[in-house]
Structure 1
Amino acid sequence: MDVEKLFSEFTDAMANGVEAIDGKKAWEQKQFKMSSGSFEITSFRGNWIEKASIGRIKLKVEKTIQGPGDKVSPMNLNSLQLNIFPSNPLLPVGLFNVENRMGIKGADKLGGYFSIFPMKDEEAITGSIKKLFFSKIKSHGKASAKLLKDYAELWQWLDWPYKGENGIGMKINAEENEVPFVRDMVMSVLKEYLDCISTLKDIDFNKEDGDVMFSFRYKLAEFVFMKDPSTKFCFEKGVPLDILASMIFPPTVRF
């Protein structure tokens, strides 16, 4: 599988979408290298997009990492992370993590997930994304109930009502013959998500909406730094806090 081409397509779609929404290019890059891999994080801070980040991570995983709903065995990991936090508190957060898991004792496969986290269950906000998501699943002959059940296990430790079977997203676990399915799902949902932000970025919101957004951000930060075993693994490898925070960590958090 041509993973670099796949990652490049996802990255270009995300970066172009973010710049079109915000009307500017405001990217900064951080790098961290170590004996077992490297982190290259390109982050964006804007007006309509409070934060977006593109993470390229290459790691040699020497021990099994057991997380909620997923297990990473010893392997060489080549990962792309795309994270988007809109400024408007009514709009959903988008997290995309696609991994090329190169087995030390086995064939390569794709892992990871993509997640659209609504701040509230409103058809006017996330309806178009949901409609496309389920339409794509059906067009590929997949069972939505099974996909959502597997996806729900990934976020079982995150305290949020609109996750798993009540959210929009998919656990990625694909052999090479299923790469076209993964590509279509990720690219289609990513583009529809960016269209949603572009269309609704200036809708009116109130203080309560902001409180809900900050509640989600706090709970996501708690999950990432207190519950996610992959974060613990990175800390054990000596990855600095500012590198990890520049990826999936929310741009602002209220404690």
Structure 2
Amino acid sequence: MSWWDELANNRVIQQMLPEATYETVAMVAVSSLLTALVGLPLGVLLHATAPGGLAPQRVVSSVVGVVVNFGRSVPFLILMIAVIPFTRWVVGTSLGWEAAVVPLTLGAIPFYARLVETALREVSPGKVEAARVMGSTRTKIIGGVLVREALPAIVAGLTVTVIALVGYSAMAGVIGGGGLGALAISYGYQRFDPSVMIACVAVITVLVVAVQVIGDLTARRLDHR
């Protein structure tokens, strides 16, 4: 029997791979959405309150910066374990893909916020000054100039973040987070079934490539330079 036949006829792959794929896609999709909703304004806040920003606030910038740096410095595996009580409080359990969304989101928000801040820094100061001269408010400058001009880079940063979340989701399987990571560990590693491991890696690779292609196409369409 060829290796392809072994993959196609493997009962674990037939019965559990589709559900594991769904769980991975679900936890990555929900955590990516939450990361974008929180990380984007947090990145804008970091940029706006920094010295030379639209609304310089040294104390606010320092406090937010420390929190973001701390969130980025904690290894994800340790973060997952550390926030188990908080996860139980939020979703009522520490097992399953729904529970994995909590540490995934907490780990990705600081990462994405820094990418947003970096993207905003690349916007030409001349465009911001031109908007100020025209009497635009801070809110209009942020939305109409900074975010609009940096949108391709912001989308590219989100693409990087989503791909990182795919990898994090595999690690979530270590503590019962479900998804492809849990399947690879439970059946591919612990039960010595290389076919399951190969199948999980293949699906994760397809997901990463798909996210990268979609992200690149979206960023190019938004780039009006």
> How high is the TM-score relative to the length of structure 2?
0.29
Structure with max Cα Rg: 2
Higher relative contact order (CA 8 A, sep 6+): 2
Greater helix content: 2
Q: TM-score, structure 1 length as denominator?
A: 0.27
